[in-house]
Amino acid sequence: MVVTKQENQTEITEFHLVGFVGLGDLQVPVFCLFLLIYLVTMVGNILIILLVVIDPQLHTPMYLFLGNLSCLEICYSSNILPMILANVLYGGQRTISVIGCILQHCLFGLLAATECCLLVAMSYDRYVAICKPLHYTILMNNRVCLQFIAGSWIHSSFIMSIILYLMGQLKFCGPSEINHFFCELHPILKIACSDTHLIELVTISLSALCILFPFFLTLASYILIISTIMKMSSVSGRKKAFSTCSSHLMVVSIFYGTMIIVYVLPKTDVLQNINKVLSLFYTIVTPLFNPLIYSLRNREVKEALRKAVEKLYLFL
Ligand SMILES: *[C@@H]1O[C@H](CO)[C@@H](O)[C@H](O)[C@H]1NC(C)=O
């Protein structure tokens, strides 16, 4: 470990992630489980991107959003899951540099904040399609879609550069153990030896802005959609639309709900261990289920998949 002297304190330059220490006999099954989750996440999301890119019928805002969401999920899982796998395998032996850890957290934050914006855009797209079908092409077209996507990235980059700057100022002088399975904000702040009041205040306000605000917008869109669906005359159409919406609403609530508990609620010792489990939901479960829930239950995507498989057969 590299040690430098500064202000009479030994500054540490490497962290140990000890979130998965002491698994014992469970080490191999847990490793296999996470590996499987990673592979399924990658395959599911890559499949969606391929379908959206290949099939011209899927070049509509809804599917462009989905394709972009899948790209995002791939980066998101690849930022976190390989590290979890290494930690399960090596226990607390593996180290990560302080800078690497801060960058990992900020990349995670960037992708998560962008995902929040994309989820708003996707629910707005469905709201316009279902509640204002006559205005759909004016309110939502490929250009608006591009603006939404670019806006999401710019907004999140701006927010995360503030956090990156503040985290870059932190000093660490031990202990070097982070009680988590990836470089999560609060476990890092807990072991910092500089004053963390400012960064805590800033992250709480920014996460409220980036999580609560999109959450309420998404929720509002789905409530309007569901109330419109309830007024539909066809029972089968009502059932189908309702089941689609409620499954979207479920993954969205899990994603936002767990993030709100971890980032926005006050930090107490009781919540600490629960938060470790909750963060599994927004880091691992959402990227795994999003492609399944948003696409593979969808008739047009199934049709595109069937056509693609047929083409592949002819080709072979
Ligand atoms: C992401 O969105 C942009 C802008 O709408 C679109 O051009 C691009 O094809 C999308 N990417 C994927 C993989 O769907």
Hey, CA dihedral for 96, 97, 98, 102, is it positive or negative?
negative
Residue 306's identity, in one-letter code, is R
Nearest CA to ligand 1 atom 2: 64
Ligand 1 neighbour 146 (Cβ under 6 A): yes
Mutating to test ligand 1, I would choose from 64, 66, 70, 148 the residue with most ligand atoms within 8 A of its C-beta, which is 64
Residue 116 corresponds to which tokens in the numbers above?
Answer: 């929040």
Are 175 and 191 contacting, i.e. CB atoms less than 8 angstroms apart? yes
Stated length of the chain: 316
Ligand 1 neighbour 71 (Cβ under 6 A): yes
Peptide bond between residue 175 and the one before it cis (omega within 30 degrees of 0)? yes
Rounded to the nearest 10 degrees, the angle between the axes of helix 213-230 and helix 98-131 is 30
3-class SS of residue 15: strand
Ligand 1 neighbour 97 (Cβ under 6 A): no
User: What is the reported pLDDT for 75?
Assistant: 96
Mutating to test ligand 1, I would choose from 48, 149, 153, 295 the residue with most ligand atoms within 8 A of its C-beta, which is 149
Q: Where are the domains of the chain?
A: 14-311
Cα angle, residue 66 at apex, residues 288 and 104 outer, rounded to 5°: 55
CA distance 262 to 281: 11
Are 241 and 190 contacting, i.e. CB atoms less than 8 angstroms apart? no
Ligand 1 neighbour 61 (Cβ under 6 A): no
Ligand 1 neighbour 258 (Cβ under 6 A): no
User: What is the reported pLDDT for 2?
Assistant: 45
Topology, domain 14-311: Rhopdopsin 7-helix transmembrane proteins (1.20.1070)
CA distance 305 to 152: 29
Q: What is the 3-state secondary structure (H, E, C) of the chain?
A: CCEEEECCEEEECEEEECCCCCCHHHHHHHHHHHHHHHHHHHHHHHHHHHHHHHCHHHCCHHHHHHHHHHHHHHHHHHHHHHHHHHHHHHHHHCEEEHHHHHHHHHHHHHHHHHHHHHHHHHHHHHHHHHHCHHHHHHHCCHHHHHHHHHHHHHHHHHHHHHHHHHHHCCCECCCCEECCCCCCHHHHHHCECCCCHHHHHHHHHHHHHHHHHHHHHHHHHHHHHHHHHHCCCCHHHHHHHHHHHHHHHHHHHHHHHHHHHHHHCCCCHHHHHHHHHHHHHHHHHHHHHHHHHHHHCCHHHHHHHHHHHHHHHHHC
> What is the layout of strands, in order, in the sheet containing 177-178?
95-97, 14-17, 177-178
Ligand 1 neighbour 121 (Cβ under 6 A): no
Instruction: Give me ligand 1 centre to Cα 67, in Å.
Output: 6
User: What is the reported pLDDT for 106?
Assistant: 95
User: What is the reported pLDDT for 105?
Assistant: 94
Ligand 1 neighbour 64 (Cβ under 6 A): yes
Are 304 and 51 contacting, i.e. CB atoms less than 8 angstroms apart? yes
Q: What is the pTM of this model?
A: 0.89
Nearest CA to ligand 1 atom 12: 67
Positions of the chain with pLDDT lower than 50, given as ranges: 1-6
The ligand 1 atom nearest the CA atom of 52: 14
Are 64 and 118 contacting, i.e. CB atoms less than 8 angstroms apart? no
Rounded to the nearest 10 degrees, the angle between the axes of helix 142-168 and helix 197-207 is 170
Are 92 and 17 contacting, i.e. CB atoms less than 8 angstroms apart? yes
Residue 307 corresponds to which tokens in the numbers above?
Answer: 């056509």
Instruction: Give me ligand 1 centre to Cα 53, in Å.
Output: 8
User: What is the reported pLDDT for 272?
Assistant: 77
Ligand 1 neighbour 48 (Cβ under 6 A): no
Ligand 1 neighbour 67 (Cβ under 6 A): yes
Cα angle, residue 94 at apex, residues 88 and 100 outer, rounded to 5°: 110
Bridge partners of residue 227, in order along the sequence: none
Ligand 1 neighbour 150 (Cβ under 6 A): no
Ligand 1 neighbour 118 (Cβ under 6 A): no
Residue 259 corresponds to which tokens in the numbers above?
Answer: 């993030």
User: What is the reported pLDDT for 264?
Assistant: 84
User: What is the reported pLDDT for 99?
Assistant: 94
